[in-house]
Amino acid sequence: MRIGAVVIARRRLWNQHIAEPRFDHPSEVVARLGAVQAQEYLSALWAVGLRTRQATEASIEQALADRSIVRTWPMRGTIHFVAAADVRWMLALLTPCVIARGAQRFRELGLDEAVVARSKELFANALQGGKQLKRDEMYSLLEQAGISTAGQRGYHLLWRSAQAGLICFAAREGKQHTFALLDEWVPPGKSLTREEALAEVARRYFTGHGPATLRDFAWWSGLTVGDARAGLEMVSSRFVQETTDGQLYWSSPDTPAVGDTSPAAFLLPSFDEYLVGYRDRSAVLDPLHAKQAAPGGGMLSATVVVDAQVVGTWKRTLKRDKVVLEVAPFSGPDQTQGHEVAAAAYRYGRFIGMPVE
């Protein structure tokens, strides 16, 4: 069966639980998508919140405090939210590719395996017994042991320890994030063989992101194309196959013929899965406006979506008694004005607990 770009976009809105949130708990949303990119913490809270029924910023943070969601580096060398039950098997499956790709950068930084091993030992000893340390305190441990943290060395050592399943982000102290030992922060979860993990991550991706291509899945997961294909082949019988412009797409058979897009407008955070979850974003973002949504340097702006299409960007300014939202349409004010965008803005204000201007 052949499908068009508009149908792809509308079905993604539905499968990603943007058009119609269907879960009450944030961990269900994160598990449905597989992972939610989360290097910008407040944006990531909204990414989960807009997909969760009756969510507030506090309720998403509570899920992190309850440890049903974990924030760590499972894929692509980037911070994500992952359901606690999934964190260990996802780290085991996805981080070897990232570590291999980052080997040259570690050599450039002078971080050999002896330094990595010593940093892990320092972190393990300092955090043992349920302790939590802020990033600057973790860096101090390294510096006191004669390991320089300059030039992103400290960041890369934190990153490697998290990918090894040693540490993860823990509670916040004010606006500062802390780290804890993963085995103390999260109870033991299920163990999967590599083949089971490949199948499971493929199932999660195409269920929560479909319609999508093999290339999209390989990009999102960070797996090699060969491993991504192997995972997809193990679960492909569960999904519907459709084509457009010579590309083969897979999606859940439960996806509506055309997803319900009411309300028709949404304010998505920066690095939202609606964009970052795909190698090819042209179904939802006109390539003419790609640089406005993705200005460079790995950035993805907060975007305005109307009728499943990205039509502008937005930013917020917090005042003492309100939040001011500024919308920048790509092609004219008609795209981003009206009751639909106002309703989307109201929903965001309700999420953070402030009136919107």
pLDDT at residue 11 greater than cutoff 90: yes
- Nearest residue to 47 (alpha-carbon basis) of 205, 346, 269, 323: 269
Has this prediction a pTM greater than 0.85? yes
What pLDDT is recorded for position 335?
A: 62
What pLDDT is recorded for position 242?
A: 92
Average pLDDT for the chain: 94
pLDDT at residue 261 greater than cutoff 50: no
What pLDDT is recorded for position 337?
A: 67
Report the share of the chain in percent with pLDDT over 90. Answer: 86
What pLDDT is recorded for position 4?
A: 82
Q: What's phi and psi for 318, nearest 5 deg?
A: -85, 125
Report whether 66 contacts 83 (CB < 8 A).
no
121 forms beta bridges with none
Report whether 106 contacts 151 (CB < 8 A).
no
Structure confidence by residue, pLDDT tens digits, 144-200: 999 999 999 999 999 999 999 999 999 998 889 999 999 999 998 889 999 999 999
Query: What is d(CA 69, CA 51) in angstroms, rounded to the nearest whole number?
Result: 15
pLDDT at residue 286 greater than cutoff 90: yes
Q: Within a 10 A sphere around the Cβ of 227, how many other Cβ atoms? A: 19
Query: What is d(CA 181, CA 186) in angstroms, rounded to the nearest whole number?
Result: 9
